[in-house]
Structure 1
């Protein structure tokens, strides 16, 4: 095995005591013909997360390289992913947050084999199972395509932040070293990074669920960001501002996709606010007549029925 590190695993953790073991075990089970390093950045957890990380650090000191914060950096607006990447030695970065985990022991090998053989691609992703902490079971998949295929920058922009699972991302580190600072200022997860990488190259999707993506996790970024209607409005504004900046930065190369995406984001915000009269105005016609909207409505109806049924069963069992 080559002693030079080829892949740096980027793992951000905060109060993930219940999950971090699965995340680390998912890293350790990877079977590769190259060397990796595991960079875990704990953001001043107040539960038992640090003790678990230290346990693994003691067992695998050459492999696991933690960074322990004394004060929470996220609350101070620090760009933690950038900090973690700055200490990476690998040619590639593989991302997995501390509350998610990988399922396939050959996940990294498959993605690196593809990227090593296809220089024009900057990012490789795959499907994932969605696991609800609230219901304690798998509730679906993140699956942007029914087959292996390339995604363009336009598709990556229009797909939004939920198009690709964060814990499926493996990308060329050198292309992320020059990400403009405003990409991270918006504070909206890995969506800006995905756009940047798609602009620098192409995105390749492997149609296999090789990881678990948790939802309904207490304290998770998505929960903190859009837990209230007020925060949803603020996030819609930040996303629109970010897309405007990207538009300028890329010399309006993706203007059509960016304008459509801004409309789409605001349309779904209006639906969340129950402002249906405004949502179904002519200006949003491209959104609500698109097959994506129909698919999301049908999926929401099915999930609502399933959740309602489970709640009835839960309360019935509890009342016995």
Structure 2
């Protein structure tokens, strides 16, 4: 690992560390970085970006920003791709380097849409000193055009995320909305949850929500998630023959996480954990697009799926060639 920075020009005590990971995102990374720089925020920040051996010019862009803003940027590079070795660059490299009191995350193919995002989340964290994290609503956008596809809200008002929703959902917010106390994130990494081999976003939801003090939700759209962005894991898997195998592995890891919750809470949430197990099973069948099983076992849940999700399920089940063609067309936009 190599850190490219001008230590003498960096803030000695940043309030917020913005953490970003990127790999071959030359078409997207400027949107992410510019959205960081456009924040209307009165306190000092630092921007740490891990490049995982990009080959498309992404690193050149990162170094350009570091030269232009040496007081803000710290660029982490490697000689070998870390993700392919099973290493999480966010947790293994960026979090230990972060010097801010708080950490805000955004992957390199996403971006923020509200200049007051950091200021609003910081205000919430100052107002509620016992909570671990603050999140907000986001929009899903088409990867190339940035056209809005949908808005994702946890609720229709500001609130804490409930224990029930934490246990029965694998994700209540987008990663690009997460604003967390650095101390809570470090404690998470050292806990049994941090070492468990499962989805990092799901683990953080559970730990911050149940163990570290809770998560506050702001019902304002302040970030954008690109759907099926180029070089993303989701895009590589959507038409892959390995999808069922990968989905099964994800399901088993989610179940292992819920079993840990049961043990960690001395069965206090056992009934919710049982509901969570069923919810994870539903998600598994949705991920592999098994519409027949979904209709037979969870007809009411299926009705609550978004229009696009239901169209995806129906086309995959009843007209797979058309489904494959449409996915291909979407990815070329």
* Structure-2-length-normalised TM-score: 0.82
Residue of structure 2 equivalent to 1:12:
21
Report the more deviating stretch, 235-244 or 18-27. Answer: 235-244
- What count of residue pairs does the alignment treat as equivalent? 304
Which residue among 253, 267, 272 is the counterpart of 1:257? 272
User: What's the CA shift for 1:158?
Assistant: 1.6
Q: Which residues of 2 match residues 1-320 of structure 1 at below 5 A?
A: 4-82=13-91, 83-133=93-143, 137-161=147-171, 163-179=172-188, 180=191, 182-183=193-194, 185-199=196-210, 200-224=212-236, 227=240, 228-271=243-286, 272=288, 274=290, 276=292, 280-281=296-297, 288=298, 292-296=301-305, 300-301=309-310
User: What's the CA shift for 1:78?
Assistant: 1.5
Residue of structure 2 equivalent to 1:318:
none
Q: State whether residues 167 and 211 of structure 1, in contact with CA within 8 Å, keep that contact through their aligned partners in structure 2.
A: yes
Q: State whether residues 270 and 276 of structure 1, in contact with CA within 8 Å, keep that contact through their aligned partners in structure 2.
A: no
- Please tell me the root mean square deviation across aligned C-alpha atoms, in Å: 2.9
Which runs of no fewer than 5 residues in structure 1 stay unpaired?
A: 282-287, 316-320
User: What's the CA shift for 1:242?
Assistant: 2.2
After superposition, the Cα gap between the structure-2 partners of 1:278 and 1:139, relative to the gap in structure 1 and judged at 3 Å, is: closer
**CA distance in structure 2 between the partners assigned to 1:189 and 1:12 by the alignment:** 14
* Structure-1-length-normalised TM-score: 0.85
**CA distance in structure 2 between the partners assigned to 1:105 and 1:94 by the alignment:** 14
SS in 2 for 1:210: strand
SS in 1 for 2:304: helix
